[in-house]
């Protein structure tokens, strides 16, 4: 597993089959790279925000 803080790095074909630990601002998220991810950025697969849901009206 390769640990990285660089979310802006573009995924190249050399990365296919490797697992990256991408930092999301709080912790490292494991991202397994497949051939369909080539050309995208590492940060696209490690979300930085967690949706807790809308508040319920009474």
Average pLDDT estimate for 10-28:
94
Verdict on whether the full-model pTM lies above 0.85: no
Q: Does 58 score more than 80 pLDDT?
A: no
Q: Does 57 score more than 90 pLDDT?
A: no
Q: Does 55 score more than 90 pLDDT?
A: no
Triad 35, 37, 42: Cα angle to 5°: 135
CATH superfamily, domain at 2-45: Ribosomal protein S19/S15 (3.30.860.10)
CA 31 from chain center: how many Å? 6
Other Cβ atoms closer than 10 A to 16: 14
Q: Give burial (CB, 10 Å; 0-12/13-18/19+) of 55.
A: exposed
Identify the CA nearest to 5 among candidates 46, 36, 49, 39: 46
């Amino acid at each position: 597993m390769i640990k990285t803080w660089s979310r802006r790095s573009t995924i190249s074909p050399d990365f296919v089959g490797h697992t990256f630990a991408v930092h999301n601002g709080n912790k490292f998220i494991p991202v397994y790279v497949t051939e369909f991810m080539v050309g995208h950025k590492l940060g696209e697969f490690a979300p930085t925000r967690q949706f807790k849901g809308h508040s319920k009206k009474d």
